[in-house]
Amino acid sequence: DTGVSQDPRHKITKRGQNVTFRCDPISEHNRLYWYRQTLGQGPEFLTYFQNEAQLEKSRLLSDRFSAERPKGSFSTLEIQRTEQGDSAMYLCASSLNLGLAGAGELFFGEGSRLTVL
């Protein structure tokens, strides 16, 4: 499978615990995005990377959230001291930045569903 893969697919945790999600983008894609999707809503942008540089962060990304893409390949999204309001699907997407030719299509993973009890 050469698509975007996310792990784990499901995570149940207790309030106050830390969780980490991993995203492996399509190998030649230089851009990677994280979105959050709550039940019955559309995805909301959290952050994105070009290679290893984090270029933009949403105000939704509180201090308890941190994302990394250390070698410009896979990315991790860590949530510290989880709260019940963090329960959501966390979606990863990747694309190939085409420079002046514009942005390529976003390819999404299946998501990591977080349930905070």
Partner 1 sequence: AQTVTQSQPEMSVQEAETVTLSCTYDTSESDYYLFWYKQPPSRQMILVIRQEAYKQQNATENRFSVNFQKAAKSFSLKISDSQLGDAAMYFCAYRTGIQGAQKLVFGQGTRLTINP
- The residues binding partner 1 (CB under 8 A) are 3-4, 31, 33, 35, 40-45, 48, 55-56, 91, 93, 95, 97, 100, 102-103, 105-111
CB 103 to partner 1: min, Å: 5
- Pick 3 or 16: Cβ nearer partner 1: 3
CB 16 to partner 1: min, Å: 29
Q: Exposed (0-12), middle (13-18) or buried (19+): which is 70, by Cβ within 10 Å?
A: exposed
- Pick 52 or 80: Cβ nearer partner 1: 52
- Pick 13 or 57: Cβ nearer partner 1: 57
- Beta bridge pairs of residue 107: 94
What SS3 state is found at 11? strand
CB 42 to partner 1: min, Å: 3
CB 19 to partner 1: min, Å: 20
Cα separation, 18 vs 101, whole angstroms: 40
Contact 69, 22 (CB under 8 A): no
Contact 47, 56 (CB under 8 A): yes
